[in-house]
Amino acid sequence: MSQCCMAGEGSKQEGSKQAVKQFQLPALPYDFNALEPTISAEIMNLHYTKHHQAYVNNLNKALEQYAEAEYKNDLQTMIALQSLIKFNGGGHINHSIFWTNLASQKNGGGTPPNGKLAELINRDYGSLDKLIEQMSAKTSAIQGSGWGWLGYNKAKGKLTIRTCENQDPLSTKGVIPLLGIDVWEHAYYLQYKNVRADYVKAIWNIVNWKNVAERFALASS
């Protein structure tokens, strides 16, 4: 699995200030057209090269400004930057997970999980179909922009379906993210127009359950 969201190369040193970590757009694990017809190449291209890249750029800019403010002991500016860091950092975290949560059907997209994850889905939801039904309903009903998630509540040892507003990462709810569905309009509008429910219904055809199971294994170990 790719290392999500670790700061990469490109740290730099300015004077005596602390080095500012530069986050980078992770490689997309498939071509832009790999998820067609569920998600068009045009959407994938824009979503990855424009939207995700913008979160990365704006995160790096905000972190640089934060380091500057910290260097100057400018607490008011540091506090003012926190929402920008949360929004753009959350966007970077969420999309980095999202790309790996999907796969073309010839690479296993839509193939149901087996093993421990399948057992827990059956225990907590009755069946995969019932999980899909519940998560689709909650995700489609999000007001405005946000994400639907299947997460793992480690304290309770249970799977949980949650929704997040804007780009709030699931970690803000104390839950480990396993599978995210981006329901910002930029994720589907060019293809599905206003019918978000059709996009959410279709995306299950390309869910990479192998990736979800790997995330579950890490989360539950």
Give the footprint of Mn ion on this chain (CB under 5 A): 182, 184, 187
99 or 184: CB nearest Mn ion: 184
CB of 145 to Mn ion, least distance (A): 9
120 or 187: CB nearest Mn ion: 187
CB of 138 to Mn ion, least distance (A): 18
Q: Which residue is nearest to Mn ion (CB)?
A: 182
Residue among 177, 201, 175, 176 nearest 188 (CA) = 201
C-alpha–C-alpha distance, residues 45 and 34, integer Å:
11
User: What is the token pair recorded at 121?
Assistant: 């889905």
170 or 187: CB nearest Mn ion: 187
Query: How many Cα neighbours within 13 Å face the side chain of 162?
Result: 20
159 or 168: CB nearest Mn ion: 168
Burial of 114 per CB tally in 10 Å (0-12, 13-18, 19+): exposed
42 or 133: CB nearest Mn ion: 42
Q: What angle do CA 48, 151, 206 make, to 5 degrees?
A: 45
Phi first, then psi: give them for residue 62, nearest 5 degrees: -65, -40
C-alpha–C-alpha distance, residues 13 and 21, integer Å:
10
- Residue-wise over 25-52: b if at least 16 C-beta within 10 A, else e? bbebebebebbbebbbeebbebbbeebb
113 or 148: CB nearest Mn ion: 148
